[in-house]
Amino acid sequence: MKKKILAITTLVLGVFAISCSSDDGPPTSNLTLEIIGLQPLTSGATYEGWLVVEGETLSIGKFNDVSSSITIPVVAERLENATEFILSIEPPNDNDPEPSKTKLLSGLFSGNVAQVSVNTVMQDFSSISGKFIMATPTDNVADNDEFGIWFEDPSGIQAVPGLDLPMLVDGWKYEGWVIFNNIPVTTGTFSDVDTFDDASPFSGNVQSPGYPGEDFLNSAPQGLTFPQDGDVRGKTVVISVEPFPDYDQATPFFVKVLEGTAQQNVAPAINNLTATNTLPFGRVVR
């Protein structure tokens, strides 16, 4: 009888041990994200981290925490075998098992550390510059150049693009902005510095020059009246890199690559934009 009771007890304990092991799942290790410059996303978009393991992209979860240090538990075997880390921006209600095209940061692991930056996944912004003029080519008024901005350089025999920017990868577009009375107003999104931007919501009816830009003459956004409030002189001008599709079209995305201030002299005076050097960067440690 004692042997029978002992056998049953051993069987029960064995089943219990197997059950606990199964419930606990595979062992995990911590991955620490030490990233400077992230800002909260709006309109339901989220960050998502990814590991590249044997050529396969595996999610380590979504988050909206923009602290300078974030720790995420990851299946230990996956983390040990990972060769690259990627941070993407995912749309609202996303259930796609693959990363979106809007990849913000990436870096290859060297030992237990991956240095991550926008340059490795989005584009290299180490050698960029910009110029713009104030002019209003989309109406027939000769003396109101202070109400328009165009990213061109007319200093040579013929006008050339005013922006020296690399072509972006899929998932991103450039966008110009002028800040009027603390209200950012778009000059339009664009992918190519040598052609029209995607929209001209405030311009006149005359065809604009073949460069990104905007005249601030009509249909002002809430809080402004054009052309009265559309005087560009003394205003901050920004070129941002925007997620595409863009989940917050009212304000510049925090990845700003060029910035400057419009001077008092209008066309043909040329204004300069300089690199901001404020792109997000950091490292992930396993």
Tens digits of residue pLDDT in 117-164: 999 898 899 999 999 999 999 998 989 999 999 999 999 999 999 999
pLDDT value at residue 17: 34
Beta bridge partners of 46: 90
* 141 is a domain residue: yes
Place of tokens 């393991």: 53
Residue 21 has pLDDT above 50, yes or no: no
Burial of 266 (0-12, 13-18, 19+ CB in 10 A): buried
Residues 162 and 252 in one domain: yes
Residue 54 located in a structural domain: yes
Rg (CA), the chain: 26
Q: Per residue in 146-156, pLDDT tens? A: 999 999 999 99
Token couple for 29: 């290790």
In this structure, the answer to whether residues 105 and 162 fall within a common structural domain is no
Tally the C-alpha atoms within 13 A of residue 100's C-alpha that lie toward its C-beta: 24
Which residues are within 8 A (CB) of 200 and not within 5 positions of it... i.e. 6 or more apart?
A: 138, 188, 208, 214, 215
- Domain limit, last residue, from 123, 138, 167: 123
- 3-state SS class at 276: coil
If one counts the domains in the chain, the total is: 2
- pLDDT category of residue 15 using cuts at 50, 70 and 90: very low
pLDDT band at 249 (very low <50, low <70, confident <90, very high): confident
Same domain, 186 and 118: no
pLDDT at position 127 is: 93
Q: Are 49 and 65 in contact (CB under 8 A)?
A: no
Q: pLDDT tier at 276 (50, 70, 90 boundaries)?
A: very high
Question: Does residue 185 sit in the same domain as residue 105?
Answer: no
Domain end residue (candidates: 123, 156, 184): 123
Q: Does the pLDDT at position 13 exceed 70?
A: no
Spatial strand order in the sheet of 70-75:
56-63, 46-53, 82-90, 103-110, 113-117, 281-285, 28-36, 70-75
Whether 280 and 145 have beta carbons less than 8 Å apart is answered as: no
The pLDDT of residue 208: 86
Supply the pLDDT for residue 67: 93
> Above 50 in pLDDT, residue 4?
no
CA angle 251, 200, 178 (to 5 degrees): 40
In this model, does residue 95 exceed pLDDT 50? yes
Q: Is residue 10 part of a domain?
A: no
Predicted structure pTM score: 0.89
**CA 78/CA 54 separation, integer angstroms:** 9
Instruction: Dump pLDDT digits (tens) for 226-244.
Output: 999 999 999 999 999 999 9
Least confident of 13-17, 56-60, 70-74, 169-173: 13-17
Looking at the DSSP bridge assignments, the partners of residue 30 are 73
- Residues 138, 257 within the same domain: yes
CA distance 49 to 89: 9
pLDDT at 23: 54
Whether 34 and 108 map to the same domain: the answer is yes
Residue 154 sits in the same domain as residue 225: yes
Final residue belonging to a domain, choices 97, 123, 149: 123
Determine contact, residues 62/46, Cβ cutoff 8 Å. Answer: yes
Say yes or no: 46 and 63 in one domain. Answer: yes
pLDDT value of residue 230: 98
140 within domain boundaries: yes
Looking at residue 277, what is its pLDDT?
83
**Domain co-membership, 98 together with 197:** no
Q: What is the CATH number of the domain that holds 77?
A: 2.60.40
Least confident of 12-21, 26-35, 84-93: 12-21
Q: Has residue 11 been placed in a domain? A: no
Q: Is 138 part of any domain?
A: yes
**169 and 240 belong to one structural domain:** yes
With beta carbons less than 8 A apart as the criterion, state whether 256 and 239 touch: yes
pLDDT at residue 1 in the model: 43
Same domain (yes/no): 61, 158: no
Give pLDDT tens digits for 37-82: 999 999 999 999 999 999 999 999 999 999 999 999 999 999 999 9
Tell me: pLDDT of 7 over 90: no
48 and 162 both lie in a single domain? no
Q: Does residue 15 form part of some domain?
A: no
Instruction: With respect to residue 19, please indicate whether it lies within any of the assigned structural domains.
Output: no
Using the predicted structure, report yes or no on whether residue 204 has a pLDDT greater than 80: yes
Query: Which residue bears the tokens 């073949």?
Result: 210
- Domain of 185 in residue numbering reads as 129-278
